[in-house]
Amino acid sequence: MRRQTVLRQLGLRDYGRVWQDMREFTAGRNAQTADEIWITEHPPVFTLGLNGKPEHVLRQGDIPLIQTDRGGQVTYHGPGQLVVYLLMDLRRLAFGPRQAVSLLENAMLTALGQYGVRAAARADAPGVYVEDRKIGALGLRISRGCSYHGLSLNNAMDLTPFSAINPCGYAGMQVTQLADLGVRVDIHELAVPIVHHIIKVIES
């Protein structure tokens, strides 16, 4: 019987440190290693995906920019944004990359629905949107059949830094957050329906 998924509440943690920890965990895991979900927030940081184009960073200012190894283009992380990392053995679950992406999108859609927010995923631009405004982003890295990185969902944060980038490589892409939609929720509470959805799928 496969081990139960391990949950880790990291709190506010430096992006570079968590990224290194994810890589080390993935490199050291084996077929018996339990999957893990890490819940965190990051101090202000821009991250550029593997195929990210630097020109999508319009104004860096004093916010650090990290070239990372996830999929996708450029995004912003900051306090008040929920970040959930999914360290999952895709081979063991018989999941393909598209299924992993859909799992993260559906987890965000389920959580938003519980707070009365109507959102949708888009085939042409991964992530979750409220009308035409992006509220949730995702990006994964798959190494040795295992995933790391995950999703970010805008809760109650300073959205200003998003104007300094083309979010996820889309010029003029607008963003939103739960607080601007009239939803006030603690970030730890927001994580509950997301984690519940993920565990329900991967442990079924």
Could you list the residues known to form a binding site for substrate, using ranges: 70-77, 137-139, 150-152
CA distance linking residue 89 with residue 141, whole number of Å: 12
- Which of 112, 156, 157, 168 is the catalytic position? 168
CA distance linking residue 115 with residue 135, whole number of Å: 14
Alpha helices (runs of H) in 45-167, residue ranges in sequence order: 90-93, 97-114
Which residue ranges make up the annotated binding site? 70-77, 137-139, 150-152
- Nearest residue to 26 via CA among 16, 36, 12, 39: 36
146 is known as an active-site residue? no
The residues carrying an active-site annotation are 168
